[in-house]
Amino acid sequence: MPRPGKNSYSDQKPPYSYISLTAMAIQSSSEKMLPPSDIYKFIMDRFPYYRENTQRWQNSLRHNLSFNDCFIKIPRRPDQPGKGSFWALHPDCGDMFENGSFLRRRKRFKLLGVEHSACKSGPVLHSYHSHAQHALHQSHHHSGKLGMGHQEYLGTMGRLSHFQSYTLGGGQSGSFKHPFAIESLIGRDYKGVMASGLPIASVMHHLGYPVPAQLGSMVNSVWPHVGMLSEPVSSEYPPFNVAVKGLYHHHPGTQSMPAVPVPIKPTPTLGAVPSLTGMMPGVTQLCPRTAALMERDATALVEEKSGSLHPALLQS
Partner DNA sequence: CTGTGTTTACGGATAA
Partner DNA sequence: TTATCCGTAAACACAG
- Interacting residues with DNA (CB under 7 A): 17-19, 35-37, 40, 56-60, 62-68, 73, 83-85, 87, 99, 101, 103-108, 110, 263-264, 267, 306, 308
Identify which of residues 161 and 196 has a Cβ nearer to DNA in the complex: 161
Minimum Å gap between C-beta 228 and DNA is 20
Query: Nearest distance from residue 214's CB to DNA, in Å?
Result: 31
Residue with Cβ nearer DNA (24 or 65): 65
- Of the pair 65, 222, the CB lying nearest DNA is at 65
Rounded least distance, CB 208 to DNA, Å: 18
Alpha carbons 88 and 41: distance in angstroms, whole number: 16
For the CB of residue 63, give the shortest distance to DNA in the complex, in Å: 4
Q: Are 173 and 256 in contact (CB under 8 A)?
A: no
Tell me the CA distances in angstroms from 34 to 47, 84, 101, 277, one per residue in order. Answer: 18, 10, 24, 27
Torsion of CA 135, 272, 64, 126, to 10 degrees: -20
Nearer to DNA, 110 or 142 (CB): 110
Nearest approach in angstroms of CB 55 to DNA is 7
- C-beta closer to DNA: residue 60 or 217: 60
Report CA dihedral (253, 254, 259, 262) to the nearest 10 degrees.
-30
Q: How far is the CB of 72 from DNA (least distance, A)?
A: 9
Closest distance of CB 216 from DNA, Å? 25
Closest to DNA by CB, 76 vs 289, is 76
DSSP 104-162: S-SS---B-S-SSSGGGTSGGGS-HHHHHHHHHH--S-----TTB-TTS----S-TTHH
Least separation in angstroms between residue 1's CB and DNA is 25
Are the beta carbons of 237 and 145 closer than 8 angstroms? no
The CA–CA distances, whole Å, from 204 to 52, 80, 212 equal 36, 15, 10
CA dihedral 170, 174, 175, 178 (to 10 degrees): 70
Residue 124 or 283 with smaller CB distance to DNA: 124
Q: Which helix (H) or strand (E) holds 67?
A: helix 54-67
Report the distance separating Cα 18 and Cα 150, nearest Å. Answer: 26
Task: Output DSSP code: residue 99.
Answer: T
Give the single-character DSSP code of 286: -
**Residue 185 or 211 having the CB closest to DNA:** 185
